Amino acid sequence: MKKELEAFLEYLKHEKNASPHTIVSYQRDLKQLAVYLEKKNISLKRTDNVVLRGFLATLYEKRNKKSTIARKLAAIRSFFQFCIRKRWLEDNPAKVVATPKQEKPVPSFLSEEDMEQFLDLPKTHRPLDLRDKSILELLYATGSRVSELVGINLEDINFEERLIRVRGKGKKERIVPFGKIAKESLAFYIRARSQIHKGEIDKNALFLNYRGDRITSRSVERVVDKYIRFSAMRRKISPHSLRHSFASHLLSRGADLRVIQELLGHESLATTQKYTHLDLKQLIDVYKKSHPRS
């Protein structure tokens, strides 16, 4: 299976333009299957749906989450489909293996009042604090994914029109507007950007770490964690929570769901719907304003 797996990973990288994160994830999941098949002395051609169910059973025994198992099964399906295209196999045994039913927890998000409090931090004008404030403002102003935020270059920002170019999944680009407050925060940061590191700095990247290199997704997560601790909120909030809040607040103020879909860079409207939240009072208000017999 080693040769087939290497060919599949090359296909993901060069033909599908998959992100490095996706490639590493697929590689890890499929290597786990390869180890299982080797232990059972089962070749790729002899792998059927019974064998795959046995593999998934071992994952359940190891207390893997349903979402993790579903992801691994999706990787296996894609791999077998690739093998069929290459005529190494005639059938995809993973197609008849049921995907585990997923729990659907409500994504964490902040109310508008909590968001105001959160974005009021930090308060100093030190270069790294200006960077942190700009990161938080831009995450909320654009609804960007962390991976998109860290990939932004200086040339991607149009200050005059208040527009920013972000690169989403599959290297797809989209243009997203941002507001006056985010613009002001960005301007303060960019003026102080060269002071973050005394030596040479990355000339292209918008957000830098203390060494002058492009900031990483993990560092952005640490920034959000830091200011959640500084605030009075005792909640589990991630950078993605700001994206959830962005979508929810737009919807509650009357934005069309398809507009939010475009801003978030979702291909499916169903994906956008899970990012939106309306409380009971909002639902009642909308009903009273909209229903002819309310």
Residue given tokens 């991976």 in the structure block = 147
Note whether 131 and 203 are same-domain residues. yes
Same domain for 172 and 88, yes or no, is no
Identify whether residues 83 and 137 lie together within a single domain: no
**pLDDT at 88 (0 to 100):** 95
Residue-wise pLDDT tens digits, 258-273:
899 999 998 888 788 7
> Looking at the 3D structure of the chain, how many domains does it have?
2
Q: Name the DSSP letter for residue 228.
A: H
Q: Same structural domain for residues 92 and 155? A: no
Per-position pLDDT tens, the chain of length 294: 889 999 999 999 999 888 888 999 999 999 999 999 999 999 999 999 999 999 999 998 998 888 899 999 999 999 999 999 999 999 999 998 988 886 666 557 888 888 998 898 878 899 999 999 999 999 999 999 999 999 999 999 999 999 999 998 877 899 999 999 999 999 999 999 999 999 999 999 999 999 999 999 999 999 998 888 887 676 778 888 899 999 889 988 888 888 999 999 988 887 887 776 655 566 566 667 765 665
Residue count of the chain, please give it. 294
Is the domain of 145 the same as that of 30? no
Q: Say what the pLDDT of residue 281 is.
A: 60
177 and 131 belong to one structural domain: yes
Q: What is the pLDDT of residue 240?
A: 87
pLDDT tens-digit map of 136-173: 999 999 999 999 999 999 999 999 999 999 998 877 89
Q: What is the CATH number of the domain that holds 202?
A: 1.10.443.10
Asked if 86 and 177 sit in the same domain, the reply is no
- How far, rounded to the nearest angstrom, does the alpha carbon of residue 60 sit from its chain's CA centroid? 26
Q: Please give the torsion angle defined by the CA atoms of residues 17, 20, 22 and 26, in that order, rounded to the nearest 10 degrees.
A: 100
CATH number of domain containing 25: 1.10.150.130
Same domain, 142 and 201: yes
| Domain identity same for 51 and 152 | no
| Domain-embedded: residue 102 | no
**Longest distance between any two alpha carbons in the chain, whole Å:** 68
Does 265 map to a domain?
no
Say if residue 136 is in the same domain as residue 184: yes
Annotated catalytic residues are 145, 169, 240, 243, 266, 275
159 within a domain of the structure (yes/no)? yes
Percent of the chain scoring above 70 in pLDDT: 91
3-state secondary structure 193-224: HHHCCCCCCCCCECCECCCCCECCHHHHHHHH
Q: Is residue 185 part of a domain?
A: yes
The answer to whether residues 125 and 76 belong to one domain is: no
pLDDT at 103: 62
Check: pTM over 0.85? Answer yes or no. Answer: no
Strands 163-167 and 157-158: antiparallel
Domain span including residue 47: 2-96
**pLDDT value for 237:** 82
- Asked whether residue 271 is assigned to any structural domain, the reply reads no
**Does 55 fall in a domain?**
yes
Burial group, residue 193, by CB count within 10 angstroms (0-12, 13-18, 19+):
buried
